């Protein structure tokens, strides 16, 4: 009998979470030649870097803009800027207290074009992503990882695993014996209620974004003033973590009504009727603990990543994703043949 030698296939890595971190991890792994499968439970990729589309126009209701300090991230964003997917946001950003605005230190801010989720679309290009899959369990044995969806469906076997999720969502997926659980337990996320408002006429405010000192609000921005946002007068306001936590489980309509009052109080304008109003609950909005770096257990080729590893911003999520991808790639390259064999 003649033995048929199977063509060696690339080791497979699953990435759970298609936010900025998961997508940058997937890109790093793909660049190393691994077969990458991304799962995300949302309807579309992006996580907290997403855009709501309404009949009154678009709202960047999560991440507002990003900064680029690390040279690797800055280079990637310069590439996207050149290709027309990212633009500088030269808006006037102030500090706002009791209706009085004062200037803030200059800072280079960037946004996705024509909306923040353009960044996601670019990072997702060429990746194999399955949306609306809620990964409920991950099991490790000597042959690698197997994932199970909340529906009970087996999602297949993988040589490596990247959990690109907020820590509270990553923890249930990590098997009990892993040290990674201890790192995840040191982490926590704070919530944020977002208010979305559209008006028929421009508001008489001479700024585009404001860091707000107020009992309820922490930030507001004229979303329609960002580059390429089209016509209209659209604002997004973010409630402070403490205010949001105290109202986390209230109905969105109740919260919207309270936030609208806070919006007028903070701007000092007389209230006027919005033509669109909505509130969005971000239950795990921003990391609320010291960043631990990007943890990896090389023996099992598992890494966790996300903004919580690297400073709570888009840039940190991207960097953490790259680090997780690189760490799992290194782990699989050094692994015994039974587990994965050579990767790149
Ligand atoms: C209100 C708000 C304002 C912000 N403003 C800014 C800003 O101005 N500038 C800035 O730089 N950053 C800002 N941020 C932070 C920025 O949005 C995040 O740092 C970044 O988007 C986090 O990306 P991530 O990939 O780490 O996580 P996420 O974006 O949370 O991605 C996690 C993904 O995992 C998926 N998921 C979760 N559980 C499962 C599961 N069990 N199975 C499958 N999929 C799952 C989710 O659907 C999600 O897509 C803001 C965030 C919020 C909420």
- Span 49-86, pLDDT tens digits: 999 999 999 999 999 999 999 999 999 999 999 999 99
Question: What are the helix and strand counts (H, E) for the chain?
Answer: 8, 20
What whole-number distance in Å separates Cα of residue 337 and Cα of residue 343? 11
**pLDDT digit string, tens, across residues 27-40:** 999 999 999 999 99
307 lines ligand 1 (CB under 6 A): yes
Q: Determine the pLDDT at residue 344.
A: 29
Average pLDDT score over residue span 84-99? 95
127, pLDDT greater than 80: yes
Q: What is the pLDDT of residue 339?
A: 52
pLDDT greater at residue 142 or residue 328:
328
Ligand 1 midpoint to CA 192 (Å): 12
Q: Is the CB of 22 under 6 A from ligand 1?
A: yes
Exposed / middle / buried, residue 133 (Cβ in 10 Å: 0-12, 13-18, 19+)? buried
pLDDT at 217: 98
Q: Is the CB of 192 under 6 A from ligand 1?
A: yes
* DSSP one-letter code for 163: E
pLDDT at 99: 84
Regarding the beta carbon of 287 and ligand 1, being less than 6 Å apart is answered no
Mean pLDDT of the region 45-49: 98
- In this model, does residue 159 exceed pLDDT 80? yes
The alpha carbon of 284 and the centre of ligand 1 are apart by a number of angstroms equal to: 8
Give the start-to-end residue ranges of the domains of the chain.
1-63+116-186+292-344, 65-115+189-288
Query: Facing residues of 219 across strands?
Result: 211, 238
Residue 98: pLDDT band with limits 50, 70, 90: confident
CB of 232 within 6 A of ligand 1: the answer is: no
pLDDT greater than 50 at residue 343? no
Per residue in 242-278, pLDDT (tens digit) is 999 999 999 999 999 999 999 999 999 999 999 999 9
Classify burial at 204, counting beta carbons within 10 Å of its beta carbon; exposed 0-12, middle 13-18, buried 19 or more: exposed
Query: Residue 72, SS3?
Result: helix
| Percent of the chain surpassing pLDDT 90 | 92
Atom of ligand 1 nearest to the CA of 66: 11
What's the CATH number of domain 1-63+116-186+292-344, 3.20.140.10, 3.40.50.300, 3.50.50.60, 3.30.1490.20?
3.50.50.60
> CA-CA distance, 44 to 39, in Å (whole number)?
11
Q: Rounded distance, CA 226 to CA 222, Å?
A: 7
**CA–CA distance, 64 with 48 (Å, rounded to integer):** 10
CA distance 158 to 29: 13
Ligand 1: centre distance to CA 17 (Å): 9
pTM for this one? Answer: 0.95
Cβ proximity of 254 and 296 under 8 Å: no
Q: pLDDT tens across 277-299, in order?
A: 999 999 999 999 999 999 999 99
Rounded CA separation 101/104 (Å)? 9
> What's the pLDDT tens digit per position in 219-234?
999 999 999 999 999 9
Residue 316 φ/ψ, nearest 5 degrees: -65, -40
Q: With a 6 A CB cut-off, is 238 part of the ligand 1 pocket?
A: yes
User: Exposure of 70 by Cβ count < 10 A (0-12 exposed, 13-18 middle, 19+ buried)?
Assistant: middle
pLDDT band at 106 (very low <50, low <70, confident <90, very high): confident
Range 256-265 contact pairs with CB under 8 angstroms and sequence separation of 24 or more: 256/195, 258/216, 259/193, 259/195, 259/216, 259/217, 260/195, 260/197, 262/214, 262/215, 262/216, 262/217, 262/237, 263/195, 263/197, 263/217, 263/220, 263/235, 263/237, 265/214
65-115+189-288 and 1-63+116-186+292-344 share a CATH fold: no
CATH number attached to the domain at 65-115+189-288: 3.90.660.10
- Residue 5 has what pLDDT? 37
Please compute the mean of the pLDDT values over residues 146-162 and round it to a whole number.
97
């Amino acid at each position: 009998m003649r033995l048929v030698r199977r063509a060696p296939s690339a080791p497979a890595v699953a990435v759970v979470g298609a936010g900025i971190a998961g997508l940058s991890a997937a890109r790093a792994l793909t660049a190393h030649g691994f077969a990458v499968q991304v799962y995300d439970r949302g309807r579309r990729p992006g996580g907290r870097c997403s855009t709501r589309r309404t009949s009154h126009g678009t709202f960047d209701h999560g991440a507002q803009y990003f900064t680029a300090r690390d040279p690797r991230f800055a280079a990637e964003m310069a590439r996207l800027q050149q290709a027309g997917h990212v633009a500088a946001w030269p808006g006037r950003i102030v500090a706002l207290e009791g209706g009085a605005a004062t200037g803030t230190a200059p800072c280079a801010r960037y946004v996705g074009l024509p909306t923040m989720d353009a960044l996601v679309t670019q990072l997702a290009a060429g990746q194999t992503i399955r949306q609306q899959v809620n990964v409920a369990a991950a099991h490790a044995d000597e042959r690698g990882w197997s994932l199970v969806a909340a529906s009970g469906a087996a999602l297949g076997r993988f040589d490596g695993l990247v959990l690109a999720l907020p820590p509270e969502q990553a923890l249930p997926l990590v098997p009990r014996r892993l040290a990674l659980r201890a790192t995840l337990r040191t982490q926590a996320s704070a919530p944020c209620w977002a208010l979305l408002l559209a008006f028929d006429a421009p508001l008489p405010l001479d700024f585009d974004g404001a860091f707000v000192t107020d009992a309820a609000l922490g930030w507001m921005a004229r979303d329609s003033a960002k580059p390429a946002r089209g016509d209209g007068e659209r604002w997004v306001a973010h409630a402070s973590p403490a205010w949001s936590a105290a109202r986390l489980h209230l109905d969105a309509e109740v919260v919207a009504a309270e936030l609208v009052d806070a919006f007028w109080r903070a701007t000092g304008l007389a209230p006027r009727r919005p033509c669109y109003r909505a509130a969005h609950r971000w239950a795990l909005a921003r990391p609320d603990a010291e960043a631990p770096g990007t943890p990896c257990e090389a023996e099992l080729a598992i890494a966790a990543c996300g903004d919580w590893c690297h400073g709570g911003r888009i840039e940190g999520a991207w960097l953490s994703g790259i680090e997780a991808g690189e760490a799992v790639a290194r782990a699989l390259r050094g692994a015994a043949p039974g587990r994965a064999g050579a990767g790149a």
